[in-house]
Structure 1
Amino acid sequence: MTIASTADPATSTPLAGVPGVPRPTRPAHVIADDAEALAVAERLAKGFAEGASERDRTRRWPVEELDTFSQSGLWSINVPRRFGGPEVSYVTLSRVIAIVSAADPSLGQIPQNHLGVVAAIRTVSDEAQQKLLFAEVLHGTRFGNAFSEFGSKRAADFETRFADAGDHVVVTGRKFYSSGALLAHLVPIVALDGEGRAWYAVAERDAPGLTVIDDWSSFGQKTTLSGTVVLDGVKVPKTHLVPGYKGYDRPTADGAIFQIIQAAVDTGIAKAAIEETIAFVRTGSRPWIDSGLEHAWQDPYTIQAVGDLTLRLHAAEALLDAAGRAVDRAVAEPNAETVAQAQIAVAEAKVLSTEIAIAATNKLFELAGTRSTLAEHNLDRHWRNARTHTLHDPVRWKYAILGNYALNGVKPPLHAWS
C-alpha cells in the first residue's frame, strides 16, 4: 500500500502515514469460559513481559505480540454468547487486562477501545449490524480508534463530521490519542451527524483518505500504537455506522465499561511496580548505614512500606472485582439505578488504581535506592507509564462524583468518561 502524506499544521512539514495491516488469514481462537480467559492471559503475559522493557526503551512496535494477543481469543471475550462469543464476566475481563498490563501496559491499553466498542455494539446496534461486526471480531479483526481530538475545548467536543452519501457516509476530520490505530484492521471514528449526535463510523484501516501518522511522543505508554488520524473524505458503508450516542441518551453500562478497563490497566502497572520493588530490594539494594543490618530486605521501614503498598494494591484489586460485578448487573438489567451503581463502583476502582499506580511506581525508587535509577534497569518506565495512563481522566472529579452521590443522591453523568 502506498504511504500517504499530510502536513503538520504547525510546521507545514510533510508527515508520512503508516500502511495498514491485513486481516488475519485464519480465524482467531474463541475462548470457552472465564477460567480459560484467565489462563490464556497468564500464559501470554509471561511472554509479553520478556520484551516489555526493550520495547519501551526503543519504542519497538509489539507487532508479533499484538497478533498473538488478538488471535488468542481475548479480544472477543465480551462478544455475546448468542453470536458465538464467550461473554465472560466483566470481573474476568478486567482481570485479563490487569494481568496483561502488569506484563506490558501498552499491550494492556491497546484493546481498551476495541472492547469498549464491542460493548457499545451490543448496546446500540440492531441485530444485523451485531451479527456482521461480531463475526469480524470473532475472526480476529482488531478495532483501533479515532475518538479524541487534540484541539477541541473539551474531550467530548468533536469537530469531525460525516455527510450522507446514499449507501455510505463520508467522514472528514482529524483525531489524536488514537490508541491501536496504527495496527488496527478497522478504525471506529467518532463523528457527528447533522443533528450533532456522535456515531462510530467504522472504517477500513487502509480506506482511501484515512491516514494514520506515527507521531505519538509521550514519555510513557510509548507503544500503544497511537498517533494522529487524518480523515479526508473517508467513505464508510452504512452497515458500519454504529449509533454510539444511543449508549448515553439513556442509562447503559457503556461508559462504565470504558472506564473499568482504564482502572484495570493502572492496577496492572501498580502490581508490576511492586513486584519490581521487591525483586530489586531482595537482590540489588544495600542496607542503610545506620541500620546495622546485613540486607536491605531486613529494613523495618522498607518492610512497612512494602506492606502498605501491598495492602493498597489488594484494596484496588478488590474494588476492581466489585466494579466488575456491578457492571455485570448493569449489562444484564440496565436502568438508572444499576447503571449509577456501576458507575460509582468503577469510579471507586479508578481512584484507588490511580493512587496505587502512582504511589507504587514512585516508592520503587525510594525503597530500591539509587542503583535502581540506572538506565540499564529502565525501571522508570513504570512511573512514566503510570503517570501517562492515569491522565486519561482526572480522579479529582471521581471524588466529586462519589461525594455527590453519597451526600446528595446525584447520579453520575452519562458519557464515556463516567
Structure 2
Amino acid sequence: MASILQQLHLPDPLAIATALAERLAATAVERDRAGGHPAHERALMRESGLLTLSIPAEFGGQGADWATVMAVVRLLAKADSALAHLFGFHHLQLAGIQLYGTKLQQRSLLTAAVRQNQFWGNALNPLDKRTRAVASPAGFTLDGVKSFSSGSVGSDWLTVSAWDEQANAALIAVLPTSQAGVHVEADWDAFGQRQTDSGNVHFDRVHLPNALVLQAPGQAPTARSTLRSQVAQLIMTNLYLGIAQGAFEAARDYTLEQARPWFAAGVDDAIDDPFTQHRYGQLWLTLRPTVLLADEAGRQLDAALGRGDALSARERGEVAVAVAEAKVLAHRAAIEISNTMFELLGARATSARFGFDRFWRNARVHTLHDPIDYKLRDLGRYALSGRVPDPTPYS
C-alpha cells in the first residue's frame, strides 16, 4: 500500500535527509569544535522542508509516519548528532500538540507551523519544577526557569511545563518564544552535543492564556497521550543508533584508506589483520540487532498511535517495552563503538583534524539523559512477570 507521502506525490524525505546530512557532515568537525548556535544549519533544515514531516496532511504537513521521522533522525545523527537532536526534538513538540491538544488547538497550531515553517523548541523538562504557574481568570502567570531546554535558542515556539502548587500538579502548554517575559539563555556548555541550543529558559511574569494550555494541572492523561514519552525515547534511540553507525562508518573508512597493520600481524593491509576483522565482526553484531529492534519499535509506535483512543494501557506498555529494548542496545552500541574505534585505528586517528572523538563525547553526554539501569529494571520486570513499564515522562 502506498504511503501518504507517495499518494501526495511528495519528495522522498529520506533522499532529502541524505542530501542534508552530507551538507551537515562537511562542517560537523569544525562546528563541534566551535560550539554555539548553528543558525546557518538550522536554516538549511528549514529550507529542506523536513520540519513539516510529522504534521498530518489535513493541516498541510507531509503526514509521514513516525518510522519515517525516526529514520531521518538516524540519518542526520550519523553526520551530526547535535543537529539531529534539534530536528528530533522539534518533531517531539509537534507530537505533543497532537497527543495533548484539542482538535481546535491542533488545527490552529499545526497549520501555523506549516505556513510559517516554524522551528519548535523545548522547555518542558519534567524534573525541573522551578517554573511555577499561578492561575488567573484569563489563564496562568509563569515565573521561574527551565533547564536542558533543547532547541530553545533560535526557536519560534516552545512547549512548556510549569508547576501549579495549588493543584499540586504540572501543566503543559505552548508559547511563542518571543512572548513578553520569556528569555532564552544560550548557556549550554556540555562537552558533547555542543550545538543543541539547550540552554536555560527564564520566565518573568509571563502570561499564558488558557487557549495555549494543552494539558491542565491535574488533568488525567489517556493511554494514548502518554505515548509522548515513547516518541521522545525512540528519538533518542535513533539518535544513539545514528551516532553508532556514524562512528562505525568513520572507523571503517579510515581502516580502508589510512590504517596500517600492526607489525606482528604479518599482513600488508590493515583489513587483512585477523584481529581487526574479529573486532569489526563484534561491532557489526552490536549494530545489527539494534537496527532491527529500533525499526520494530517504530512500527509498534505507529500501530499504537493508529489505535487512537481505543489504545489500552497494556498495549501502551508493550510499546514502552519495545522502545526500552531498542534504547538499551542503542545506548550500548553508541558508547562501545565510539570508544572501541580508537583501538582499531591507532594513535594517529586521535588527531584533532579527524574529530573522531566527537562521536564518543556526543554519545556520552546524551546517553545520560535518563538512567539506563531503570530501562533494564523495566525489562527485567517484564521478563520475569510480564509487568509493563508504568507511564512516566521517561518510560
Q: Normalising by structure 1, what TM-score? A: 0.87
Q: Normalising by structure 2, what TM-score? A: 0.92
1:172 aligns with 2:149: no
Contact 2:167 2:217 in 1 (8 A): no
Q: How does 1:103-122 map to 2 (within 5 A)?
A: 103-122=79-98
Equivalent residue number for residue 356 of structure 1: 333
Q: How does 1:95-106 map to 2 (within 5 A)?
A: 95-106=71-82
The 1:416–1:353 alpha-carbon spacing in structure 2 relative to 1, beyond 3 Å, is same
How far off its partner does 1:205 sit?
A: 1.4
Equivalent residue number for residue 405 of structure 1: 382
1:41 aligns with 2:17: yes
Equivalent residue number for residue 337 of structure 1: 314
Worse-superposed segment, 266-275 or 189-198: 189-198
Residues of 2 paired with 1:60 and 1:108: CA distance?
Answer: 15
Worse-superposed segment, 347-356 or 53-62: 53-62
How far off its partner does 1:60 sit?
A: 4.4
Cα deviation 1:361-396 (Å, max 9, x = unaligned): 001100000001112222111100010111111221
Of 303, 320, 342, the match for 1:365: 342
Worse-superposed segment, 32-41 or 271-280: 32-41
How far off its partner does 1:81 sit?
A: 2.9
**SS of residue matched to 1:163:** strand
Cα deviation 1:234-287 (Å, max 9, x = unaligned): 122322221177897331222111110010100100011001111111222221
Q: How does 1:163-312 map to 2 (within 5 A)?
A: 163-193=134-164, 194-243=166-215, 249-252=221-224, 253-312=227-286
The 1:210–1:182 alpha-carbon spacing in structure 2 relative to 1, beyond 3 Å, is same
Letter in 1 for 2:22: K
Equivalent residue number for residue 347 of structure 1: 324
How far off its partner does 1:35 sit?
A: 7.1
| Uncovered stretches (5+) of structure 2, i.e. residues with no partner | none
Letter in 2 for 1:172: D
Residues of 1 paired with 2:313 and 2:23: CA distance?
Answer: 42
How far off its partner does 1:141 sit?
A: 1.0
Cα deviation 1:284-336 (Å, max 9, x = unaligned): 22211111111212111111211221222121111111000110111011221
Contact 1:124 1:246 in 2 (8 A): no
Q: How many residues align structurally?
A: 384
Letter in 2 for 1:176: S
Residues of 1 paired with 2:384 and 2:10: CA distance?
Answer: 37
Residues of 2 paired with 1:271 and 1:246: CA distance?
Answer: 42
The 1:94–1:31 alpha-carbon spacing in structure 2 relative to 1, beyond 3 Å, is farther
Cα deviation 1:155-193 (Å, max 9, x = unaligned): 635231222333342211111111110110112211123
Residues of 2 paired with 1:245 and 1:284: CA distance?
Answer: 58
Letter in 2 for 1:375: A
**SS of residue matched to 2:153:** helix
Equivalent residue number for residue 376 of structure 1: 353
Cα deviation 1:114-168 (Å, max 9, x = unaligned): 22222222122111111111012213111111122xxxxxx63523122233334
Cα deviation 1:89-113 (Å, max 9, x = unaligned): 2211111100011110000101333
Worse-superposed segment, 221-230 or 197-206: 197-206
Hey, which of these two has a bigger chunk of helix by percent? 2
Equivalent residue number for residue 62 of structure 2: 86
